[in-house]
């Protein structure tokens, strides 16, 4: 009987095999899933969209690399998570943004929101969204005042109305209709026409031929990416479906100008950043609940807050703030959605 | 098809051996038979160094009810009784027998045509004397399991032919080649328990075995074959019961609390051997497999045979062999060397190559929730690990740390390569100690 060769002494606690999926694979799947939306952004808003995205990505990755250096930790920049933050931040900026905005946003996202809280896996907020909130609070004019019209289309997505993004148009019209005595009759008439014509913008909203942030406008491109993520198990249905379903439900009830149950929920789903937010940002694993039950509560919460901000809030769009606010509730949700253990004896 | 919640689908790896007939390992020159091969009280040796023993002879006496004796698997001379490397316990006392020229058997092994007329107690007695402990790997003394307390009424017996551990095909081959013995053993189990309903659970990747068993039970009453989808850990007792009967064993409880009892197909055959012919448990079928073995085989191996002899018979190890595991890749135990013997709970000897055996670096948890999704006990593995890392064992206990069945699905699925079940296992030990101290 011979002794075992030395190398056989490799010993460890079971299991001895592991699934081949990894953090980099998940992260790069998300990055690949955002390419269709990036292509559409390039098509509709021109090379500026790519330029801003590139700036955001490079700044995010560089910031992360420098932080790993400073912290004397092995670099993890190749895991692709900083790339996601960069792309998502760019997707949340207007194509008209000055060059330093994506840079400032990415540095803030990575250094403050992510690294200061402990790096990958420990951030409480979605870094890209928190950075967007930071930029919106610091430079509101640059963030919202000048939207780039898409190639061949109008900012609103509706023929003849060139001034506002779809949700802006909705907000302004709703405000006018709510108190017509404060406005000229022609303005009231225009607002009513706009509301009546919302459905004419569906096609433009689907393909992304409207004004808005770089990556949020093309619903079809975003859905193609979402399918890629579903297929590769980078996201599950629980957050996006509850989120979008809740927005549809409450915008149908409260979103109309002619009383309850008259809201145009299709328009609410297709416009603004809902599709981007529901599939790419609210699904961020780190800042959403761990259990499916928790994820569904999270999705419903995002939906309620989004509709609340859109209809009664000061901003036309509420997706970013809704998700950030719900990020803060995740520890609480996780605490109250601990699954009941297999074979739990129900207390009588 | 019915199944249980959670679970994973690891690479099955059964192709290596599923078509290979059970071969008999040539009689080894020396066997090492640990005195403890079961869960429960230890046994004390009945033999001395230098003594001659026959195959099947009792080597030790059980100390206590939850214990079973061990028997000589070859005839020969006792070379020593000493501490050896034990494949489960690390170290343990064992009887080392040097085999003689020709096998001599004890005379008591003979067929009893009228075994079916025995009372339940007489049957259990033979099972206990035969040294039977669960062959699925848990090695709980079989006679104890077959005597539930009076107040627990068992209404259904399950025969576990699931074999959900990747790579292992021992039970699969056993069902194909010994269906009659297995079903006769199952009939004995049902008779002892007085149950009218028996279910044989087999996963879909063993359709041929399911067909063979179905044919075998054609004339039997109260038995049915249930084909289950392939999913790990369906062969775990609680998960099999959930899948087959949709009953949940209460947290902290046993299958008998919900009227069910599970026995492995290999144990059923051993029960038949013990009851029908006084044959003790001295050999078992072991799958010797994996990319690190030159000629993977299913082998009938005398208890106590050394891993080295077995691997030599299978053509030896490949160049890249790097890890030797007793059992399957999900719950098996890595072995420090090849001197360890096969014991009653050895369902497989799996040799992995470096590429599979290397230990990945733990990365930060990204809260993806996959461990929560796959946990068959509905636990929060990532949260439990965090609590264990911070030595908050009592808090982990409140989150049902002790309900972990250690199937390893969480560690398997984790994209951050976290050592989840490993941490939980550590936490369970610590918590048990804490509770012991507290009284």
Where is B370: in which H helix or E strand? helix B370-374
Q: What percent of chain B has pLDDT over 70?
A: 100
Hunting for tokens 């491109």 — which residue is that? A221
- pLDDT tens profile A20-29: 999 999 999 9
Q: Based on the domain organization, do A140 and A207 belong to the same domain?
A: no
The verdict on a CB contact (< 8 Å) between B416 and A290 is no
Q: Give the per-residue pLDDT at B2.
A: 84
Q: Rounded to whole angstroms, what are the CA distances from B206 to A218, B11, B176? A: 48, 15, 10
Does A163 have pLDDT greater than 80?
no
Could you tell me which of A158, A169, A274 has the C-alpha nearest to residue A215? A274
Contacts of A64 in chain B (CB under 8 A): none
Predicted confidence band of residue B36 (pLDDT cuts 50, 70, 90): very high
Task: Tell me whether residue A221 is exposed, middle or buried, using C-beta atoms within 10 angstroms of its C-beta: 0 to 12, 13 to 18, 19 or more.
Answer: buried
> Residue B193 contacts by C-beta under 8 Å, 6 or more apart in sequence?
B120, B146, B148, B154, B157, B261
**Based on the domain organization, do A287 and A193 belong to the same domain?**
yes
What band does B259 get if pLDDT is binned at 50, 70 and 90?
very high
**What tokens appear for B298 in the block?**
């299913």
A202 and A320, same structural domain? yes
- Look at residue A279 and tell me if it is in a domain: yes
What would the mean pLDDT of A185-191 be, rounded to a whole number? 90
Residues A60 and A179 in one domain: no
CA–CA separation, B169 and B156 (whole Å): 26
Q: Is B265 helix (H, G, I), strand (E, B) or coil?
A: helix
Query: Are residues A134 and A212 both part of a single domain?
Result: no
What class is the B282-357 domain? alpha beta
- Summarised one tens digit per residue, pLDDT across range B123-138 is 999 999 999 999 988 8
Please report residues of B whose CB lies closer than 8 A to that of A21.
413, 415
Residues A178, A136 share a domain:
no
Q: How far is B340 from chain A (nearest CA, A)?
A: 11
Of B5, B322, B412, which is closest to A18 when you measure between CB atoms? B412
Per-residue pLDDT, A3: 47
Could you tell me if residue A156 is inside a domain?
A: no
- CB-based contact B356 A16, cutoff 8 Å: yes
Of the pLDDT bands very low, low, confident and very high (cuts 50, 70, 90), residue A347 is: very low
DSSP A137-196: HH-HHHHHT-PPPPTTS-SSSSTT--SS-HHHHHHHHHHHHHSGGGS-HHHHHHHHHHHH
- What ipTM was assigned to the predicted interfaces of this complex? 0.91
Buried b (16+ CB within 10 A) or exposed e, B133-152: bbbbbbbbbbbbbbbbeeee
User: Which of A14, A287, A291 faces B369 most closely, judged by CB atoms?
Assistant: A291
Out of A109, A144, A179, a domain closes at A144
B282-357 and B110-277 share a CATH fold: no
Distance (Å) from the alpha carbon of A329 to chain B's nearest alpha carbon: 15
Report d(CA B313, CA B300) in Å as an integer: 12
Does any domain span residue A186? yes
The predicted-structure confidence for A297-338, as pLDDT tens digits, reads as follows 999 999 999 999 999 998 889 999 999 999 999 999 999 999
Position A152 scores a pLDDT of 81
Q: If residue B209 lies in a helix (H) or strand (E), which one and from where to where?
A: helix B207-216
Distance CA A309, CA A37 (A): 25
Is residue A37 a contact partner of residue A218, using CB atoms and an 8 Å limit?
yes
Query: What pLDDT shows up at residue A7?
Result: 54
Average pLDDT over residues B355-362: 89
- The kind and range of the H/E element at A44 are helix A35-45
Q: How far is B25 from chain A (nearest CA, A)?
A: 16
Confidence of residue A8 (pLDDT cuts 50, 70, 90): low
Q: Do B378 and A9 touch (CB under 8 A)?
A: no
Q: What is the pLDDT of residues B81-122, one digit of tens each?
A: 999 999 999 999 999 999 999 999 999 999 999 999 999 999
Cis peptide before B233 (omega within 30 of 0): yes
Whether residue A5 is predicted with pLDDT greater than 60 in this model: the reply is no
Min Cα–Cα distance to chain B from A119, Å = 9
How many helices (DSSP H) and strands (DSSP E) are in chain A?
16, 0
Does the pLDDT at position A162 exceed 90?
no
Same domain, A248 and A316: yes
Q: Contact at 8 Å (CB) between A88 and A94?
A: no
Nearest by CB to residue B356, choosing from A17, A25, A119, is A17
Mapped onto helix, strand or coil, the DSSP state of residue B287 is: strand
Residues B318, A26: Cα–Cα separation, whole Å = 34
CA dihedral A36, A42, A48, A54 (to 10 degrees): 30
Contacts of B350 in chain A (CB under 8 A): 16
Asked if the structure places residue A155 within a domain, the reply is no
Q: Which of A155-169, B230-244, B354-368 ranks highest by mean pLDDT?
A: B230-244
Together in a domain, A191 and A43: no
Identify all chain A residues contacting B420, using CB atoms and an 8 Å cutoff.
none
Give the rounded percent of residues in chain B with a pLDDT score beyond 90: 95
Please say if the pLDDT value at position A346 is more than 60: no
Domain boundaries, chain B: 27-99, 110-277, 282-357, 370-438
Minimum-distance CB partner of B359 among A7, A12, A236 = A12
Which of A7, A10, A15 to mutate to test binding with chain B, by most B CBs within 10 Å of its CB? A15
Distance between A344 CA and the closest CA of chain B, angstroms: 5
Please name the member of A7, A119, A344 whose beta carbon is closest to the beta carbon of B251: A344
Question: Least CA distance to B407: which residue of chain A?
Answer: A15
CA-nearest of B333, B362, B406, B353 to A12 is: B333
- If we measure between CA atoms, which residue out of A204, A209, A215 comes closest to residue A95? A215
Q: Is A161 inside a domain boundary?
A: no
Measured distance CA(B329)–CA(B343) in Å, rounded: 18
A12 domain residue, yes or no: no
Is A9 within a domain? no
pLDDT bracket for residue A2 (50, 70, 90): very low
Smallest Cβ–Cβ distance between A342 and the set B30, B251, B338 belongs to B251
Question: Is the confidence at residue A178, as pLDDT, over 90?
Answer: no
Residue of B333, B346, B343, B290 whose CA lies nearest to B314 = B290
Q: Report the 10 Å Cβ neighbour count for A81.
A: 31
Domain-located, residue A131: yes
Give the three-class secondary structure for B167. Answer: coil
3-state secondary structure A188-203: HHHHHHHHHCHHHHHH
Q: How confident is the model at residue A145 (pLDDT cuts 50, 70, 90)?
A: confident
Which CATH architecture fits B27-99?
Beta Barrel (2.40)
pLDDT score, position B305:
98
Q: A123 and A247 share a domain?
A: no
Parent domain of A132:
24-144
Chain A residues lying within 8 Å of B325, measured CB to CB: 14, 16
pLDDT attached to residue B431: 97
User: Other C-beta atoms within 10 Å of B224: how many?
Assistant: 13
Composition of chain B by helix, strand, coil, percent to 5: 30, 25, 45
Dump pLDDT digits (tens) for A16-62. Answer: 999 999 999 999 999 999 999 999 999 999 999 999 999 999 999 99
A134 and A237 fall within a common domain: no
What is the count of structural domains for chain A?
2
DSSP H or E run through B307:
helix B307-313
pLDDT at residue A35, as a whole number: 98
- CA B48 to chain CA mean position, Å: 30
Q: What is the mean pLDDT of chain A?
A: 92
Residue B419 pLDDT more than 70? yes
pLDDT digits (tens, 9 = 90+) for B304-345: 999 999 999 999 999 999 999 999 999 999 998 999 999 999
β-pair partners for B160:
B201, B264
The average confidence (pLDDT) of chain B is 96
Classify B110-277 by CATH class: alpha beta
- Chain A hits for B5, CB-CB cut-off 8 Å, are 342
B304: three-class secondary structure by DSSP: coil
Quote the pLDDT of residue A158.
83
Q: What is the pLDDT of residues A266-287, one digit of tens each?
A: 999 999 999 999 999 999 999 9
Q: Which of A184-188, B174-178, B259-263 has the lowest mean pLDDT?
A: A184-188
Q: Is the peptide bond before A291 cis (omega within 30 degrees of 0)?
A: no
CA angle A49, A51, A55 (to 5 degrees): 120
Tokens 């038995």 found at: B223
Does A196 lie in the same domain as A64? no
From A29's Cα to the closest Cα of chain B, the distance in A is 13
CB B387 within 8 A of CB B396: yes
Residues A172 and A286 grouped into a single domain: yes
Compute the half-sphere exposure of residue B275: CA atoms within 13 Å on the CB side of its CA. 30
Look at residue B438 in the predicted model and tell me its pLDDT. 87
The two three-digit tokens of residue B190, written as one number = 């049902």
Residues of B in contact with A233 (CB under 8 A): 370
Mean pLDDT calculated for residue range B383-402: 96
Cα-based distances in Å from A103 to A29, A30, A63, A216, B223: 24, 21, 10, 19, 70
């Amino acid at each position: 009987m011979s002794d075992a060769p030395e190398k056989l002494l490799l010993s460890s606690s079971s299991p001895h095999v592991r699934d081949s999926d990894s953090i980099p694979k998940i992260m790069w799947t998300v990055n690949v899933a955002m390419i269709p939306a990036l292509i559409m952004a390039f098509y509709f808003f021109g090379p500026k969209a790519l330029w801003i995205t590139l700036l955001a990505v490079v700044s995010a990755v560089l910031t992360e690399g420098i932080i790993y250096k400073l912290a004397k930790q092995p670099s993890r920049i190749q895991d692709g998570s900083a790339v996601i933050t960069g792309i998502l931040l760019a997707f949340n900026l207007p194509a008209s943004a000055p060059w330093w905005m994506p840079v400032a946003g990415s540095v803030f996202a990575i250094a403050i929101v992510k690294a200061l809280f402990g790096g990958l896996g420990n951030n409480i907020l979605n870094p890209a969204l928190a950075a967007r909130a930071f930029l919106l609070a610091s430079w509101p004019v640059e963030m919202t005042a000048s939207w780039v019209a898409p190639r061949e289309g109008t900012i609103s997505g509706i023929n003849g109305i060139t001034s506002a993004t779809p949700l802006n148009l909705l907000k302004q019209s709703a405000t006018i209709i709510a108190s017509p005595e404060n406005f000229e009759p022609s303005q009231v008439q225009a607002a009513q026409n706009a509301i009546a014509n919302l459905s004419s913008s569906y096609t433009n909203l689907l393909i992304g031929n409207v004004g808005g942030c770089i990556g949020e406008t093309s619903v079809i491109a975003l859905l193609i990416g979402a399918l890629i993520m579903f297929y590769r198990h980078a996201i599950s249905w629980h957050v996006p479906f509850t989120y979008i379903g809740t927005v549809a439900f409450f915008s149908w009830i409260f979103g109309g100008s002619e009383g309850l149950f008259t809201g145009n929920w299709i328009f609410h789903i297709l416009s603004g950043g809902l599709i981007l937010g529901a599939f790419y940002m609210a699904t961020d694993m780190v800042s959403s609940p761990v259990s499916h039950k928790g994820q569904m509560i999270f999705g419903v919460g995002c939906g309620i807050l989004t509709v609340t901000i859109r209809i009664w809030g000061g901003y036309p769009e509420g997706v970013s703030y809704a998700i950030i606010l719900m990020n803060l509730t995740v520890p609480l949700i996780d605490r109250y959605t601990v699954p009941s253990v297999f074979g739990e004896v129900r207390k009588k | 098809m019915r199944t249980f919640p959670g679970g994973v689908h690891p690479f099955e790896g059964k192709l290596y051996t599923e078509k290979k007939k059970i071969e008999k390992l040539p009689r080894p020159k020396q066997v090492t038979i640990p005195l403890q091969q079961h869960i429960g009280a230890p046994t004390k040796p009945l033999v001395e160094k230098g003594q001659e023993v026959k195959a099947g002879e009792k080597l030790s006496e059980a100390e206590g009810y939850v214990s079973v004796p061990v028997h000589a698997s070859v005839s020969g001379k006792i070379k020593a009784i000493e501490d050896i490397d034990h494949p489960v316990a690390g170290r343990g006392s064992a009887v080392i027998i040097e085999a003689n020229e020709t096998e001599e058997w004890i005379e008591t092994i003979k067929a009893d045509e009228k075994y079916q007329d025995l009372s339940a107690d007489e049957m259990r007695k033979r099972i206990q004397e035969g040294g039977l402990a669960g062959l699925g790997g848990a090695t709980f003394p079989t006679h104890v399991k077959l005597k539930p307390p009076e107040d627990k009424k068992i209404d259904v017996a399950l025969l576990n032919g699931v074999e959900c551990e990747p790579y292992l095909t021992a039970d699969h081959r056993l069902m194909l080649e010994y269906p009659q013995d297995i079903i006769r053993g199952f009939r004995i189990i049902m008779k002892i328990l007085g149950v009218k309903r028996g279910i044989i659970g087999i996963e879909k990747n063993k359709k041929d075995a399911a067909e063979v068993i179905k044919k075998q039970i054609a004339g039997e009453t109260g038995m049915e074959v249930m084909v289950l989808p392939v999913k790990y850990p369906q062969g775990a007792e609680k998960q099999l019961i959930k899948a087959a009967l949709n009953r949940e064993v209460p947290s902290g409880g046993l299958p008998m609390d919900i009227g069910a009892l599970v026995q492995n197909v290999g144990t059923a055959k051993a029960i038949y051997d013990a009851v029908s012919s006084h044959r003790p448990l001295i050999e078992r079928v072991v799958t010797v497999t994996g990319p690190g073995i030159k000629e993977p085989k299913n082998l009938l191996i005398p208890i106590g045979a050394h891993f080295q002899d077995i691997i030599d018979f299978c053509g030896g190890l490949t160049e890249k062999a790097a890890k030797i595991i007793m059992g399957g890749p999900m719950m098996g135990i890595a072995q420090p060397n090849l001197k360890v013997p096969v014991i009653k709970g050895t369902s497989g000897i799996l040799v992995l190559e470096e590429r599979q055996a290397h230990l990945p670096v733990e990365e930060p948890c990204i809260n993806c929730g996959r461990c929560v999704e796959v946990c068959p006990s509905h636990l929060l593995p990532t949260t439990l690990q965090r609590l264990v890392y911070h030595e908050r064992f009592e808090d982990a206990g409140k989150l049902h740390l002790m309900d972990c069945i250690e199937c390893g699905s969480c560690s398997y699925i984790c994209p951050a390569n976290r050592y989840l079940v490993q941490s939980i296992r550590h936490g369970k030990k610590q918590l048990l100690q804490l509770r012991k101290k507290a009284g």
